[in-house]
């Protein structure tokens, strides 16, 4: 049967539409929501907070997931959270989960989606006459400031050792690391918490290590956070980002030599011997698969409730969102790249 001119035109139009749609529409709906370029905020340039991420760059794990990542440095957790919420980045690596928790308490649409370290990374270093925990009683301990993560960590540790942080010692807000180090060296304070990198410098000068909190406090310090919009609009991108980061975590935990090598390759700085010694202080706290220690988050919530900083209605499940992380972990297990 012959087609009339009108019917032929309609037929060709329908055929063209089918061909066009089959080419234009992605087979996987998630592909329509994929981001190729990802911006990640870091609050410091320390090895402790960024080594797994740097490894993932150096070893091509992000590239293998189809992602190009751009690290952005913004000093301070609260400022980093503000930048994240403003849409200046897609993810943020925050040193101290308190910023994310308190942001959530203020109504910000932010969630913790992974944990780089489920242990406190601070090392308490004493002055030449303060060598043990018992020596701290009645003396001044310098912290960054009241309410800062260092203040929180010291308080929790002292309570665990049956030392009242409000009566048995004097916690004094001193300021940044250089200021705390100078105060310690000049005898203005008896002790202070320092990052592993800064601690090894003081230890090399003969100052005593009182305690490595990485061995005693199971509280997440370095976490990955994002806003709800990213989780809703870009779940596939989030999953791929987390998969690459987990691969970096695996190498960071299991191969010290290659991990440090990757760090130097991607621009991290430091004396090799000091970097190696610092690694030994914090590496045990690195997570294997970014899973968040919910018990540690609850400790932080309880402490902030006690201090009147947040409302009791803010619970762990409102702070942590591991749904996409679990998918990333499952895929890596199926691929034989994650054994835990």
Residues spanned by the domain of 203: 123-215
What is d(CA 310, CA 302) in angstroms, rounded to the nearest whole number? Answer: 9
Residue 39 sits at the vertex; the CA angle it makes with 35 and 42, to the nearest 5 degrees, is 150
Is there a single domain that holds both residue 192 and residue 319?
no
In a domain, 19, yes or no: no
Q: What pTM does this model have?
A: 0.86
In a domain, 59, yes or no: yes
**Half-sphere exposure for 39 (CA within 13 Å, toward CB):** 13
Is there a single domain that holds both residue 238 and residue 254?
yes
For residue 16, the model assigns a pLDDT of: 41
For residue 340, the model assigns a pLDDT of: 61
For residue 155, the model assigns a pLDDT of: 95
Residue ranges, the chain, pLDDT below 70: 1-33, 340
Is there a single domain that holds both residue 57 and residue 202?
no
In a domain, 284, yes or no: yes
Q: Which residues contact 240 (CB under 8 A, 6 or more apart)?
A: 65, 66, 67, 328
Is there a single domain that holds both residue 111 and residue 243?
yes
Instruction: Report the CATH number that the domain containing residue 127 is assigned in CATH.
Output: 3.40.190.10
For residue 44, the model assigns a pLDDT of: 85
């Amino acid at each position: 049967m012959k087609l009339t001119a009108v019917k032929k035109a309609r037929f060709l139009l329908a055929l063209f539409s089918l061909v066009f749609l089959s080419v234009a529409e992605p087979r996987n709906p998630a592909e329509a929501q994929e981001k190729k370029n990802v911006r990640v905020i870091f609050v410091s340039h320390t090895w402790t907070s960024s080594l797994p991420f740097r490894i993932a760059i150096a070893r091509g794990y992000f590239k293998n997931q189809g992602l190009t990542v751009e690290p952005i440095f913004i000093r301070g957790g609260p400022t980093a959270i503000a930048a994240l919420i403003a849409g200046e980045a897609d993810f943020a690596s925050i040193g101290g989960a308190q910023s994310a928790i308190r942001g959530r308490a203020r109504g910000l649409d932010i969630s913790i989606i992974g944990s780089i370290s489920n242990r406190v990374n601070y090392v308490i270093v004493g002055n030449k006459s303060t060598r043990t925990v018992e020596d701290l009683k009645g003396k001044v301990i310098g912290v960054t400031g009241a309410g800062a993560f260092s203040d929180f960590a010291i308080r929790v540790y002292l309570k665990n050792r049956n030392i009242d942080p409000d009566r048995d010692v004097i916690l004094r807000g001193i300021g940044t690391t250089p200021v705390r180090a100078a105060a310690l060296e000049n005898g203005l304070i008896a002790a202070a918490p320092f990052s592993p990198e800064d601690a090894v410098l003081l230890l090399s000068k003969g100052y005593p290590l009182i305690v490595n909190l990485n061995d005693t406090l199971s509280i997440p310090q370095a976490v990955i956070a994002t806003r709800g919009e990213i989780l809703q609009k870009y779940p596939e991108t989030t999953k791929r980002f987390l998969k690459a980061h987990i691969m970096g975590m695996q190498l960071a935990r299991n191969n010290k030599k290659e991990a440090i090598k990757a760090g130097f390759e991607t621009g991290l700085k430091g004396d090799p011997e000091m970097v190696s010694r610092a690694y030994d202080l914090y590496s045990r706290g690195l997570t294997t698969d970014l899973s968040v220690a919910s018990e540690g988050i609850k400790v932080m919530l309880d402490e902030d409730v006690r201090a009147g900083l947040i409302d009791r209605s803010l619970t762990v499940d409102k702070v942590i969102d591991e749904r996409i992380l679990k998918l990333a972990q499952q895929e890596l297990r199926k691929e034989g790249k994650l054994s835990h």
